[in-house]
A = this chain, B = another copy of it.
Amino acid sequence: MATCDQYINPLIVQRADPFIYKHTDGFYYFTASVPSYDRIEIRRARTLEGLAHAAPRTVWRKHTTGPMSQLIWAPELHYVHGSWYIYFAAAPSIGPGPDGLFQHRMYCLTCESQDPMAGEEAWEERGQVKTALDTFSLDATVFERAEHLYYVWAQKDPAIKGNSNLYIAEMKNPWTLATQPVRLTKPEYDWETRGFWVNEGPAVIQHDGSIFITYSASATDANYCMGMLKADAMSDLLAPESWQKWDHPVFQSNLAEKQFGPGHNSFTKAEDGQTDMLVYHCRDYTDIKGDPLFDPNRHTKIQPFTWDANGNPNFGKPVPYNYNITSIAM
């Protein structure tokens, strides 16, 4: 089993909203928001540690003008039905819309090649992934269950206080919803409403007959933390009552170790193919100068986690940095 000490942290500096996917080709693939928010990059390596050194390739760039011209956020790379897809959010401008929120919508790219790093020419735009509401929406992820493909994302509902809630829908293909959105959670607890009322950044993990969705809550400062939902894998995933919501955060700042605002996570497996790994970003200071949006120092971290007797994940707390401990085993 991998232990905390086997992984160097931070793993990758200056990458927020980290997403790692281990493919059948044996490579770990990594993508994330880049600090300039102007492109989508992919890198790959045979080990998690190798991702820190893997040469990135740009696979898509923001448009000069229009709805996909600013703030390219939170890309995820998925392999669905034999093809590669990237889900991401983009905005028409840096500024807020009439509702005071960012103006992101969700988009999908697909790759004509089985090699997702084949280059920009290999990636084609599939357009906006449209939902029932034309509002601020972002952080899409997808997962398959019993041959059904589901889409989970964050979106503003003008009738609900706050920036965004989480929704699920079934898909008819990897870039089109088949059903109406079903709301899974909205910001309601104190830990979800600090600074801003936010539920965003969903990530899905299936374990022992259950499906878990973790997500991030509150403002993206030291208040940022992770909540969790759980459903029986055999239940109707589009029925809100199938989902149980935790009333407390499952992962949050570790003040003693100066690990602030962990969140926007994804999941992967360690090289042993067994150990579950939590992937998230975190800051190591709270004294941000200038616009926090353009402070690049949210760093990608990884750490193993375990499952408790009830079959629920135990994420522990954000591990300290260990890059100055020279005896790290690889």
In the complex the two chains form, is A11's CB within 8 Å of B53's CB?
yes
- What's the Cα separation between A35 and B143 when bound, in Å? 34
- What's the Cα separation between A50 and B7 when bound, in Å? 12
Which among B10, B43, B327 is the interface contact of A55 at CB below 8 angstroms?
A: B10
In the complex the two chains form, is A326's CB within 8 Å of B9's CB?
no
- What's the Cα separation between A70 and B297 when bound, in Å? 21
Contacts of A310 in B (CB 8 A): none
In the complex the two chains form, is A326's CB within 8 Å of B50's CB?
yes
Query: How would residues 285 to 298 of chain A score, 1 for a CB under 8 Å from any chain B CB and 0 otherwise?
Result: 00101100001110
Q: Is A61 an interface residue (CB 8 A)?
A: yes
Contacts of A120 in B (CB 8 A): 289
Q: Is A8 an interface residue (CB 8 A)?
A: yes
Q: Is A52 an interface residue (CB 8 A)?
A: yes
In the complex the two chains form, is A13's CB within 8 Å of B54's CB?
yes
In the complex the two chains form, is A50's CB within 8 Å of B324's CB?
yes
Contacts of A314 in B (CB 8 A): none
With A45-B324, A47-B326, A326-B330 as given contacts, are A53 and B10 in contact (CB-CB < 8 Å)? yes
Which among B119, B284, B324 is the interface contact of A46 at CB below 8 angstroms?
A: B324
- What's the Cα separation between A321 and B55 when bound, in Å? 9
CB of A180, distance to nearest CB on chain B (Å): 40
Q: Is A254 an interface residue (CB 8 A)?
A: no
Q: Is A80 an interface residue (CB 8 A)?
A: no
Q: Is A189 an interface residue (CB 8 A)?
A: no
In residues 298-330 of chain A, which contact B (Cβ within 8 Å)? 299, 321, 323-324, 326-328, 330
In the complex the two chains form, is B50's CB within 8 Å of A52's CB?
no
In residues 84-143 of chain A, which contact B (Cβ within 8 Å)? 119-120
Counting chain B CB atoms within 10 Å of each CB, the highest count among A43, A52, A284 belongs to: A52
Query: How would residues 28 to 60 of chain A score, 1 for a CB under 8 Å from any chain B CB and 0 otherwise?
Result: 000000011000000101110010111110100
Q: Is A14 an interface residue (CB 8 A)?
A: yes
Which among B46, B54, B58, B299 is the interface contact of A326 at CB below 8 angstroms?
A: B46
CB of A294, distance to nearest CB on chain B (Å): 9
Contacts of A35 in B (CB 8 A): 35-36
In the complex the two chains form, is B9's CB within 8 Å of A323's CB?
no
- What's the Cα separation between A119 and B327 when bound, in Å? 29
In the complex the two chains form, is B54's CB within 8 Å of A323's CB?
yes
Contacts of A297 in B (CB 8 A): 55-56, 58
In the complex the two chains form, is A53's CB within 8 Å of B330's CB?
no
- What's the Cα separation between A299 and B120 when bound, in Å? 20
Name the residue on B nearest A47 (C-beta): B326
Given contact pairs A9-B53, A55-B284, a sample of 19 additional A-B residue pairs in the complex whose CB atoms are under 8 Å apart: A8-B53, A11-B53, A13-B43, A13-B55, A13-B56, A14-B56, A36-B36, A47-B326, A50-B323, A50-B324, A50-B326, A53-B321, A54-B323, A54-B324, A56-B297, A58-B297, A61-B289, A119-B287, A120-B289
Please name the 4 residue pairs, one residue from A and one from B, whose CB atoms are nearest each other, closest first: A53-B323, A50-B323, A46-B324, A55-B284
A/B interface sample: 12 pairs, CB < 8 A: A8-B53, A9-B53, A11-B53, A13-B54, A35-B36, A36-B296, A45-B324, A47-B324, A54-B323, A58-B289, A326-B330, A327-B330
